Amino acid sequence: MSWQAVALTLFPEMFPGPLGGSLAGRALRDGRWALETIDIREFGLGRHRTVDDTPFGGGAGMVMRPDVVDAACAAAAERHPGLPILVMSPRGRRMDQALVRDLADGPGVAVLCGRYEGIDQRVIAARGLEEVSAGDLVLSGGELAALLLLDACVRLLPGVMGGATSAAEESHGAEGLLEYAHYTRPAEWQGRAVPEVLLSGHHEEVARWRRADAEAATRARRPDLWDAYLRRREAGGASPPRLDGPAAAA
């Protein structure tokens, strides 16, 4: 049984979008995962299929009605029982690789995409929907954030990626470090040379350099990830990592 993705949206034409190309698109065509869209507008009220209304308490914009959204969620739950339903929201938990791995290991995910000023909080509470944020920014709707989440999940599914080790070594991998820097031919470009150790053929030295580069980049660019990494190291009884790679001064 393939991994199932469901997008609840007012704009079903936005899917699969970029997920229809490259590795994700090939995996979709090969049946490694499946995608269904549920048009929230189909559950709208009246002749005009109304899905929103003015916010209580005043303010600009419109809010998606709880009864309409609930009907769309009910349809998703009926078609795919047991599938978790997430709602993309700037109020939610920030999306991270741990969440992505959990979802990829499960049967799939249904993603509710908000529009306008947001979704009536009562339906989120009533259905126990987990709110997930793509980051500290505001988008026009939840569709782009949903595509981001689905792409991150699909690439972890068995058989989707060509290299089995690349998913483990990349940024935000199992150890929570940013990824080390990458280089390819030519060995010198515009006066900039590839680090000599990467040309040495000495696998242990290359691994040591990459670890040091990843640690230095994480410490300099993401102090939050670095602190969490140190806490995990200390909890495991290991001494703090030594930063001696070329990026250590970053």
- pLDDT, tens digit (0-9, with 9 covering 90-100), for 185-197: 999 999 999 999 9
Does one domain contain both 95 and 197? no
Burial class of residue 249 in the structure, from the number of CB atoms within 10 Å of its CB (0-12 exposed, 13-18 middle, 19+ buried): exposed
Q: Which of 147, 146, 138 is nearest to 91 (CA)?
A: 138
Mean per-residue pLDDT over the chain, rounded:
91
φ, ψ of residue 39 to 5 degrees: the values are -80, 110
Provide the domain limits for residue 187. 168-235
Residue 69's contacts (CB-CB under 8 Å, 6 or more residues apart) are 8, 40, 43, 51, 112, 119, 120, 123
Q: pTM of this prediction? A: 0.85
φ, ψ of residue 189 to 5 degrees: the values are -140, 125
Domain count, the chain: 2
Does one domain contain both 39 and 125? yes
Q: Which of 127, 154, 181 is the last residue of a domain?
A: 154
Torsion of CA 4, 110, 132, 70, to 10 degrees: -170
Does one domain contain both 199 and 87? no
Q: What is the pLDDT of residues 47-91, one digit of tens each?
A: 999 999 999 999 999 999 999 999 999 999 999 999 999 999 999
160 falls within a domain = no
The enclosing domain of 223 has a CATH number of: 1.10.1270.20
